[in-house]
Protein backbone atom coordinates (compact mmCIF):
# COMPACT_ATOMS: atom_id res chain seq x y z
CA UNK A 1 0.00 0.00 0.00
CA UNK A 2 1.41 3.39 -0.94
CA UNK A 3 0.88 6.38 1.27
CA UNK A 4 0.76 9.96 0.05
CA UNK A 5 4.54 10.44 0.39
CA UNK A 6 5.19 7.38 -1.81
CA UNK A 7 6.46 5.19 1.04
CA UNK A 8 4.93 1.83 1.66
CA UNK A 9 2.99 0.81 4.74
CA UNK A 10 2.84 -2.83 5.69
CA UNK A 11 -0.54 -4.56 5.55
CA UNK A 12 -0.62 -4.86 9.35
CA UNK A 13 0.20 -1.17 9.80
CA UNK A 14 -2.59 -0.25 7.39
CA UNK A 15 -5.12 -2.43 9.22
CA UNK A 16 -4.08 -0.94 12.56
CA UNK A 17 -4.46 2.59 11.18
CA UNK A 18 -8.08 2.10 10.14
CA UNK A 19 -9.10 -0.70 12.50
CA UNK A 20 -9.89 -3.52 10.09
CA UNK A 21 -10.18 -7.17 10.98
CA UNK A 22 -7.02 -9.25 10.87
CA UNK A 23 -8.64 -11.93 8.71
CA UNK A 24 -9.97 -11.35 5.21
CA UNK A 25 -13.77 -11.18 5.26
CA UNK A 26 -14.29 -14.38 3.27
CA UNK A 27 -12.04 -16.47 5.51
CA UNK A 28 -13.78 -15.23 8.62
CA UNK A 29 -17.24 -15.67 7.05
CA UNK A 30 -17.40 -18.64 4.69
CA UNK A 31 -21.03 -18.02 3.69
CA UNK A 32 -21.91 -14.36 3.38
CA UNK A 33 -25.17 -12.66 2.51
CA UNK A 34 -25.63 -9.63 0.32
CA UNK A 35 -26.48 -7.60 3.43
CA UNK A 36 -23.23 -8.66 5.13
CA UNK A 37 -21.25 -7.73 2.02
CA UNK A 38 -22.90 -4.32 1.88
CA UNK A 39 -22.38 -3.65 5.59
CA UNK A 40 -18.68 -4.43 5.25
CA UNK A 41 -18.37 -2.15 2.20
CA UNK A 42 -20.13 0.65 4.06
CA UNK A 43 -17.76 0.19 6.99
CA UNK A 44 -14.72 0.34 4.70
CA UNK A 45 -16.00 3.43 2.88
CA UNK A 46 -16.88 5.21 6.14
CA UNK A 47 -13.45 4.53 7.63
CA UNK A 48 -11.45 5.63 4.59
CA UNK A 49 -13.62 8.63 3.70
CA UNK A 50 -14.11 9.69 7.34
CA UNK A 51 -17.84 9.75 6.67
CA UNK A 52 -20.57 8.76 9.16
CA UNK A 53 -21.42 5.12 8.56
CA UNK A 54 -25.09 5.64 9.45
CA UNK A 55 -25.46 8.17 6.60
CA UNK A 56 -24.29 5.72 3.92
CA UNK A 57 -26.94 3.77 2.01
CA UNK A 58 -26.86 1.40 -0.93
CA UNK A 59 -27.76 4.21 -3.30
CA UNK A 60 -25.03 6.52 -1.95
CA UNK A 61 -22.67 7.77 -4.63
CA UNK A 62 -19.01 7.53 -3.67
CA UNK A 63 -18.21 10.85 -5.31
CA UNK A 64 -21.40 12.91 -5.03
CA UNK A 65 -22.76 11.81 -1.65
CA UNK A 66 -19.69 10.64 0.25
CA UNK A 67 -17.30 13.10 -1.42
CA UNK A 68 -14.58 10.49 -2.01
CA UNK A 69 -11.77 11.85 -4.17
CA UNK A 70 -9.73 9.71 -6.55
CA UNK A 71 -7.19 8.75 -3.87
CA UNK A 72 -9.93 7.67 -1.46
CA UNK A 73 -11.64 5.70 -4.22
CA UNK A 74 -8.38 3.91 -4.94
CA UNK A 75 -7.85 3.16 -1.23
CA UNK A 76 -11.44 1.90 -0.92
CA UNK A 77 -10.92 -0.40 -3.91
CA UNK A 78 -7.67 -1.75 -2.45
CA UNK A 79 -9.26 -2.45 0.91
CA UNK A 80 -12.25 -4.15 -0.74
CA UNK A 81 -9.87 -6.32 -2.76
CA UNK A 82 -7.96 -7.32 0.38
CA UNK A 83 -11.08 -7.86 2.48
CA UNK A 84 -12.97 -9.98 -0.04
CA UNK A 85 -9.87 -11.57 -1.62
CA UNK A 86 -10.73 -10.44 -5.13
CA UNK A 87 -9.18 -8.25 -7.80
CA UNK A 88 -11.09 -5.38 -9.35
CA UNK A 89 -9.72 -4.44 -12.75
CA UNK A 90 -9.67 -0.80 -13.83
CA UNK A 91 -12.55 -1.23 -16.25
CA UNK A 92 -14.81 -2.64 -13.52
CA UNK A 93 -13.64 -0.03 -11.04
CA UNK A 94 -14.80 2.74 -13.38
CA UNK A 95 -18.29 1.20 -13.37
CA UNK A 96 -18.58 1.24 -9.58
CA UNK A 97 -20.27 4.53 -8.72
CA UNK A 98 -22.42 3.60 -5.71
CA UNK A 99 -22.38 1.28 -2.72
CA UNK A 100 -24.93 -0.92 -4.54
CA UNK A 101 -22.62 -1.11 -7.57
CA UNK A 102 -19.77 -2.30 -5.34
CA UNK A 103 -22.03 -4.77 -3.55
CA UNK A 104 -23.31 -6.22 -6.84
CA UNK A 105 -19.80 -6.58 -8.20
CA UNK A 106 -18.47 -8.32 -5.10
CA UNK A 107 -21.52 -10.55 -4.74
CA UNK A 108 -21.02 -11.84 -8.29
CA UNK A 109 -17.31 -12.39 -7.74
CA UNK A 110 -17.46 -14.35 -4.48
CA UNK A 111 -20.53 -16.53 -5.00
Give me the active site residues, please. 69
8 Å CB contact between 24 and 83: yes
8 Å CB contact between 79 and 20: yes
Q: Helix, strand or coil for residue 15?
A: helix
8 Å CB contact between 107 and 36: no
Amino acid sequence: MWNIQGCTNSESERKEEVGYSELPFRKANKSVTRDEIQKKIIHIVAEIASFPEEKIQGSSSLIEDIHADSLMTYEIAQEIEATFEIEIDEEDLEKIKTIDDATNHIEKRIK
